[in-house]
A and B are shown apart, each in its own frame.
Chain A
Amino acid sequence: MPAIFAQENQTDIKKQVGTIIVTPGNGPNLALADFVARSSGIDSAVNEFNQTLLADLEFAAISGIVGKSLNPKSLVPDPASLKYEEWSSDPTKADYVAFGNIQSGLASDCYLFDVKTKAQLIASRHTGNARRIAHEFADEIVKLLTGRDGIATSRIAYVSGNAINLMDYDGFNAGGFASDGSRNRFPQFSPDGRYIAYVSFKTGVPNIVVRAVGGGLVGGTNFRSTTSSPSISPSGQLAFSSAISNDGSMEIYVSSLDGSGLRRLTKTNKTVNISPRWNPATGREIAFISDRGGSPTVYVMDASGANQRVLVGRGGHADSPSWSPDGRYIAFTYGGAGGYQIFVTDVASGQLLQLTSEGRNESPTWSPDSRHIAFQSTRSGRLEVWQMHIDGTGQRQVSKGGGRSPSWGK
């Protein structure tokens, strides 16, 4: 077992991440009344809406979700039909109830009530396909109960075969984003979710391509040496790793999105400096991997290249750091002969938490709300994209038909 597994004091970070995810029985109870079809012929769409809303709110883990078997039997298509006591008393014991109706088109009238104070908290209308309107309503509920944006409408970019694909955060609605007949690798969303940078082998030498999420070309690099692992800062700067110095090292550079204004941040002797990742909250610092001390270790430096220092992971093999959008944590892959697993470190205290143990798990990426992590895992027998909460619970497979190197965007 490498030294990193023998962290004696993980109690603080455990406690800290333990408060981020609401486990059943803690926090307020949210009941979901099945939405009612107000037109004929849309039953299957309404069914899909109800299932999607439940899955979204269960994964969001912001409140207890009352099992639907405990719901009162009466239908609640609108506020006039809501009997508060039915929902607040035994056995439902809800604090909040979400309900509504759907008409053909689809258009949904969505409501959220506090059944204890009888207050209407949300009344909104959404139009679109069943999954989309469920995601939007789920995010509205999360925003209302926590004051923070939900992730149900967020998307994940990932590598499938030689192409970059995009899918909804829950694995549905997957489709191609970029393929040019050559190998495409390492997609990375910009913090604002507008761009995706990735590595293309189209010219024979790996270089970076930056595209808008709509597909339009925004920029990239065109060097004669291997150039890889892009990361975009909040202000639209590109960081990447390249061998252009021609002295046997991979070094870290920053530039504008079109490759101009190039500045070199590391200069080492025949070592590898890779996987730069901006702090997406501030853009002030860059985490990266360097083996200058012998083994690949997570370092942090100022965005100017100053003040380079070890953060975590000496002795063993650390890889693919990923900084949480709130700036608080860095997730990374760590391992060696004993296998590769995902760890998270609190940047302030340096405390570590191991989040995975089954199969080989790598390439972590954070959800926009910093409460969940997507990663690649071999546990199903092939590489697929998986997800979990920040405390390591709730692990589930999201990609189908193969997936790796996920990047979770807004």
Chain B
Amino acid sequence: MFSKRWSGLLGFVLVLTLSISALAEDKKEAQILELKQTVDELKAELIVLQRQVRTMQESMDRNSGQLNTLITQIVDNVNAIRQGQSRVAEGAMSAVNEVNGLGERLSATNQRIDKLSEQLADLKKTVENLPKLPTFTQITPGNPDQLFAAAYGDYSRGNYDLAISEFRQYVETYPSSEMADNAQYWIGETLFAKGRFAEAVTEFDKVITIFAKGDKVPAARFKKALALSELGQSDLARAEFQALLKLYPKSNEAVLAKQRLDGGQ
């Protein structure tokens, strides 16, 4: 349903672009180029939006004002085109006789733009009726801090699937960075939050073995024990709490482990 509507829309943008190209010899070339640029931007925006709406329909995620920001941007683009048009139209009034059919083309464009507004309104409706909204985290490739921040931000907002893939990406891309053990820890933590305890145990184990010298080991051991408890493996959990007490007696997690052992939890 979407692809049909959008391809029609993109078709119109294409027609509009071509009709504008035909006027390139006009004295108002600069204004027309400006308009063309706006249309190109709009086209790119629409492609992005189209893709994101599709992602959104598949996504099982909540809490994003970003789509509304996108819609606002598109509305702004439509307004920019409207303004661009009126500028071109003003400039073109004197040149109307020289430039055949410009006025007609412009009013045709007007109708198309009104149609676009309608489709935007439809899109808004569609967006409202979507059960869940995704977040679109902007990640600059090659910036580890930004990737880590995006991943932890998604964990904090409850976008667990996104957080897992971002933390995984971090560990794969920057395996020797200072935060790699943290990212590995958070993979386990996020799986734990999703209730996928067996996988969480596997990921916490990687913190304990691969990053044995890192400062996340006590927390990883403690949370691994909690995950084992959740899986009903209380003997293994106790063994893990005891190992934690023995190996890291001064850690805050050792205090918590002792409490769990004493309380029989």
Check: A246 CB closer than 8 A to any chain B CB: no
Task: Let me know if A348 and B150 touch, CB within 8 A.
Answer: yes
Contacts of B152 in A (CB 8 A): 347-348
Give 1 or 0 for each of B214-226: 1 = CB within 8 Å of chain A CB: 0010110011001
Q: A348 CA to B216 CA in the complex, in Å?
A: 18
Contact partner of B252 (CB less than 8 A), chosen from A20, A116, A308, A349, is A308
Task: Let me know if A347 and B153 touch, CB within 8 A.
Answer: yes
- Please report the number of residue pairs spanning A and B whose Cβ atoms sit closer than 8 angstroms: 96
Contacts of A305 in B (CB 8 A): 252-253, 256
Check: A243 CB closer than 8 A to any chain B CB: no
Contacts of B208 in A (CB 8 A): none
- The smallest beta-carbon distance between A262 and chain B, in angstroms, is 10
A contact face: mostly helix, strand, loop, or mixed: loop
Task: Let me know if B121 and A306 touch, CB within 8 A.
Answer: no
Contacts of B118 in A (CB 8 A): 117, 119
Task: Let me know if B219 and A327 touch, CB within 8 A.
Answer: no
Known contacts A305-B256, A326-B63; is-contact A282 B158 (Cβ 8 Å): yes
Check: A146 CB closer than 8 A to any chain B CB: yes
- The smallest beta-carbon distance between B166 and chain A, in angstroms, is 11
Task: Let me know if A279 and B253 touch, CB within 8 A.
Answer: no
Q: A190 CA to B219 CA in the complex, in Å?
A: 28
Q: List which A271-295 residues lie within 8 A (CB) of chain B.
A: 279, 281-282, 284-285
Give the residue name and chain of the B residue nearest to A284 (CB).
Answer: B193
Check: B104 CB closer than 8 A to any chain A CB: no
Q: A233 CA to B226 CA in the complex, in Å?
A: 19
Contacts of B256 in A (CB 8 A): 265, 304-306
Contacts of B156 in A (CB 8 A): 279, 281-282, 285, 327-328, 347-348
Contacts of B23 in A (CB 8 A): none
Task: Let me know if A302 and B255 touch, CB within 8 A.
Answer: no
Contacts of A267 in B (CB 8 A): 252, 255
Check: A202 CB closer than 8 A to any chain B CB: no
Q: A306 CA to B157 CA in the complex, in Å?
A: 19
Task: Let me know if A302 and B252 touch, CB within 8 A.
Answer: no
Q: A95 CA to B193 CA in the complex, in Å?
A: 43
Task: Let me know if A148 and B259 touch, CB within 8 A.
Answer: no
Task: Let me know if A348 and B149 touch, CB within 8 A.
Answer: yes
- The smallest beta-carbon distance between A312 and chain B, in angstroms, is 13
- The smallest beta-carbon distance between A167 and chain B, in angstroms, is 27
Give the residue name and chain of the A residue nearest to B152 (CB).
Answer: A348
Check: B133 CB closer than 8 A to any chain A CB: yes
Contact partner of A281 (CB less than 8 A), chosen from B63, B128, B252, is B63
Contacts of A105 in B (CB 8 A): none
Known contacts A117-B121, A147-B68; is-contact A306 B153 (Cβ 8 Å): no
Give the residue name and chain of the B residue nearest to A347 (CB).
Answer: B156
Check: B209 CB closer than 8 A to any chain A CB: no
Q: A327 CA to B252 CA in the complex, in Å?
A: 25
Contacts of B158 in A (CB 8 A): 281-282, 327
Task: Let me know if B63 and A304 touch, CB within 8 A.
Answer: no
Check: A203 CB closer than 8 A to any chain B CB: no
Q: A339 CA to B118 CA in the complex, in Å?
A: 52
Task: Let me know if B75 and A28 touch, CB within 8 A.
Answer: yes
- The smallest beta-carbon distance between B115 and chain A, in angstroms, is 10
Q: A346 CA to B137 CA in the complex, in Å?
A: 14
- The smallest beta-carbon distance between B233 and chain A, in angstroms, is 17
Contact partner of B128 (CB less than 8 A), chosen from A114, A147, A282, is A147
Contacts of A265 in B (CB 8 A): 256
Q: A284 CA to B158 CA in the complex, in Å?
A: 9
Give the residue name and chain of the B residue nearest to A346 (CB).
Answer: B153
Known contacts A279-B156, A281-B156, A327-B157; is-contact A302 B219 (Cβ 8 Å): yes
Q: A306 CA to B155 CA in the complex, in Å?
A: 16
Task: Let me know if B68 and A116 touch, CB within 8 A.
Answer: no
Among the interface residues A22, A147, A304, which one has the most CB atoms of the partner chain B within 10 A? A147
Task: Let me know if B65 and A20 touch, CB within 8 A.
Answer: yes
Q: A281 CA to B145 CA in the complex, in Å?
A: 23
Give the residue name and chain of the A residue nearest to B72 (CB).
Answer: A27
Contact partner of A146 (CB less than 8 A), chosen from B68, B145, B185, B263, is B68
Q: A307 CA to B114 CA in the complex, in Å?
A: 55
Contacts of B63 in A (CB 8 A): 281, 326-327
Q: Could you write out 19 A-B pairs with CB less than 8 Å apart?
A: A26-B72, A27-B72, A28-B72, A95-B75, A116-B117, A119-B118, A147-B133, A281-B63, A281-B157, A281-B158, A282-B193, A284-B189, A302-B219, A305-B252, A306-B219, A306-B256, A328-B157, A347-B152, A348-B150
Identify the A interface with B (CB < 8 A).
Answer: 19-20, 22, 26-28, 95, 114, 116-117, 119, 143-148, 263-267, 279, 281-282, 284-285, 302, 304-308, 326-328, 346-350
Identify the B interface with A (CB < 8 A).
Answer: 63, 65, 67-69, 72, 75, 114, 117-118, 121, 124, 127-128, 133, 145, 149-150, 152-153, 155-158, 185, 189, 193, 216, 218-219, 222-223, 226, 252-253, 255-256, 259, 263
